[in-house]
Structure 1
Amino acid sequence: MDWREVAVTVSSDGEEAVADLFYQLGCTGVSIEDPEVLLNYIESGEWDYHSFGEVKLTGTSVVKGYFAEDDELGEKLGKLDLGVQELLKRSPDWVIQTKGLTLKEVDWETAWKAYFKPVRIGKHILVKPTWEQAELLPGDIVIELDPGMAFGTGTHPTTTLCLKTMEGIIKPGQTVFDLGTGSGILAVAAAKLGAKVEAVDLDSVAIKVAQENVDLNGVHDRVRVARGDLGTVLTGQADVVIANIIADVILILLPDLKRILHPNGEFLASGIIDNRADEVEEAIEGAGLEIIERILDSGWILFRARWANRESV
């Protein structure tokens, strides 16, 4: 199948709003190219194996979405155009430019492989693409990954924030719910840390890729992958609920937490751009939780929270 890559260049403040447009249209993959995030990682030394040349801060980001070239493509592109025009009405100072091109499925796979290299995260986690070799150290928790057409390679700050935090809090025998699993990277990590995991996503492509990565890592006995609305296909309660999504979806799922999060459990909310952080923090506290940690990386926020009044939950 051929795919249409639609790239929207937008002022950095609008990258999450544009990404949300793609998600609302059922886009099977969304990526954000933010020069500021890239520069921060290069300067930190974490991406020293890449050769990007000079990175210039432009004040804009490029948000890319990928659509199957099927009978619904024209309708989806029309809705995307209307959504972009509505954003311009609300924020006339934003710069927004849109362009599109057709990709063969093999082009997509090649694009991932060109930029995805082994990366160490936290103390012991090593995320390694299936086609790369890496030197292992004692105690390494190796996550083999083929992201395919699902978000989540481990290199974006929203994912690294989750992995670093998970490494410190997830204990063997716990139950973890991974909401919006994408490539399944967080579900696999939780399983390799000893947890039993329920991983859910709305997107059929993500479910396929996540299951493949679960099988690839040999954790199929500890991870169940299911398709459905975030939080509604789950039964029981988790010791840790992880939502590495976007601010708007996190706000929607908060009412479900009383049903799916154990009274002594913890909630990890990531994927939150810093200009939405106060709004999300207020909503989390309004849902009856208290913020334990607020962690920032390259303009992205992770909230670690637990029930404020655990006896009454």
Structure 2
Amino acid sequence: MNWREIAVTVSSAGEEAVADLFYQLGCPGVSVEDPELLQSYVESGNWDYHDFGEIALTGTSVVKGYICEDHELQPKLRQLDEGLKELLQRFPEWVLQVKGLTVQEEDWATSWKAYFKPVRIGRHFLIKPSWEEVTPLPEDIILELDPGMAFGTGTHATTSLCLETLEETVKPDMRIFDLGTGSGILAIAAAKLGAQVEAIDLDSVAVKVAQENVELNQVADRISVRQGDLGTVLQGQADLVVANIIADVILMLIPDLKRIMKEDGEFLASGIIGHRSSDVEAGLGEHGLEVLEKKEDSGWVLLRARWQRASL
């Protein structure tokens, strides 16, 4: 199968907005090459293992999305073009350049690996790419990962916010639903904290990658990975429902929480770009949920919510 790689060079301030456009198109893979973020990780000490040499700061980022070259390609390209034009109208000072080329699956699945290094998230998580060697500390919880073409390496703010919050909230033997599991990183993290996890995704590639990562981390006894949507896959109710997707999809999921989340359960919603946070907060309130916590990182937002006591 061929994929169209669309590379958008944009002023650093527009990185999240362009990434959100790709997510709205349903791209199963989005990557961001941000020199400033790369340098910040190197300087912070979060990356124990790296060899990038001197990093040139350009004031721009390159956001890449991958779209299948099928019958939906042209409509999606038109939608992307319209979204980019709207951004330029709102922010005429931004640099915005677009390039596209056709790539094979194997090229896409390996080209970004130079940028995926071992990284520490939260107090104990050490994310280890499967092809890298590390020397863990005694208290480290290792998440070994080969994301392939599935979103979720832990280095993006949306995923790291979820990992940090899972570390704070997951208790042994909790039942967790991971909606839109991607690479399976959040499900694996929750399982290593002692939870039982049901991970689902609509995308067959993501399901395959997630299952492989589950087996790589030896947590298959605590995680089931299935393809499908809420209505056809999930039965019963969870103590914690996690959705690291995008705002529009989260808004569509909220009405189903009554069926799949316990009365004393909690909902973690991430993948929300900053300017859409108020929409999601309003949607939660309309369906009887209250926001317990709001976390922000690099223009992205995570919301932790539970049922309002009066609504039970």
TM-score over 0.5 for the pair: yes
Trace 1:244-259 onto structure 2 (pairs within 5 A).
244-259=244-259
Instruction: Work out the CA distance in 2 between the residues paired with 1:307 and 1:226.
Output: 27
Residue equivalent to 1:56: 57
CA contact (8 A) 1:37 1:298 kept: no
Equivalent pairs: percent with the same residue? 67
Q: Once the 2 structures are TM-superposed, how far is the Cα of residue 44 of structure 1 from its aligned partner?
A: 3.0
- Aligned residue pairs, count: 311
Q: Which residue of 2 aligns with 1:279?
A: 279
Task: Report the residue type matching 1:162 in the other structure.
Answer: C
Partner Cα separation in structure 1 for residue 223 and residue 158 of structure 2 = 22
Question: Unpaired segments of 5 or more residues in structure 2?
Answer: none
Match of 1:294, SS? strand
Normalising by structure 1, we get a TM-score of: 0.87
Do the aligned residues in 1 keep the contact of 2:48 with 2:119 (CA within 8 Å)? no
Shift of 1:180: 1.1
Matches within 5 A, 1:1-313: 1-10=1-10, 15-16=15-16, 18-34=18-34, 37-38=37-38, 40-47=40-47, 49-50=49-50, 51=52, 53-54=54-55, 56=57, 58=59, 61-70=61-70, 72-74=72-74, 76-85=76-85, 96-229=96-229, 233-309=233-309, 312-313=311-312
Distance in 1, matches of 2:44 and 2:191, equals 29
Pick which of 266-275 and 78-87 moved more.
78-87
Shift of 1:281: 2.3
Distance 1:192 1:210 in 2: 15
For residue 233 of structure 2, give the secondary structure of its aligned residue in structure 1: coil
| 1:125 partner letter | F
Give the deviation of 1:184 after TM superposition: 0.5
Distance 1:37 1:285 in 2: 34
Following the alignment from structure 2 to structure 1, what is the Cα–Cα distance between the partners of residues 73 and 278? 36
Taking a change above 3 Å as real, the CA distance of residues 232 and 92 of structure 1, as seen in their structure-2 partners, is farther
Cα offset, 1:175, TM superposition: 0.5
- Range that drifts further, 15-24 or 199-208: 15-24
| Secondary structure of 1:123 counterpart | coil
Rounded Cα–Cα distance in structure 2 between residues aligned with 1:266 and 1:294: 13
The alignment partner of 1:165 has SS state of: helix
Deviating more after overlay: 88-97 vs 27-36: 88-97
Q: Secondary structure at the match of 2:114?
A: helix
SS of 2:186's equivalent?
A: helix
Q: Give the counterpart letter for 2:104 in structure 1.
A: K
Task: Give 1:174 deviation, angstroms.
Answer: 0.8
Deviations 1:167-209 (A, max 9, x none): 1211111100111111000011111111111111121211111
For the residues of structure 1 that align with 2:71 and 2:280, how far apart are their CA atoms?
37
Residue 46 of structure 1 and its aligned partner are, at CA, apart by: 1.9
* Structure 2 Cα separation of the partners of residues 135 and 268 of structure 1: 31
Unpaired stretches in structure 1, ≥5 consecutive residues: none
State the distance in 2 between where 1:12 and 1:234 align.
39
Does the 8 A contact of 1:39 with 1:55 survive in 2? no
Whole-Å Cα distance in 2 between the matches of residues 306 and 209 of structure 1? Answer: 31
SS at match of 1:111: helix
For 2:223, the aligned partner's letter is: V
- Rounded to whole Å, the distance in 1 between the matches of 2:231 and 2:56 is 40
Q: Which amino acid aligns with 1:298?
A: S
Relative to structure 1, the CA distance from residue 136 to residue 12 in structure 2 (aligned partners, 3 Å threshold; closer, same or farther) is: closer
| 1:28, distance to aligned residue in structure 2 (A) | 2.8
8 Å CA contact 1:231–1:253 kept in 2: the answer is: no
Tell me the distance in 2 between the aligned counterparts of 1:41 and 1:285: 36
- Contact 1:126–1:140, Cα closer than 8 Å, also in 2: yes
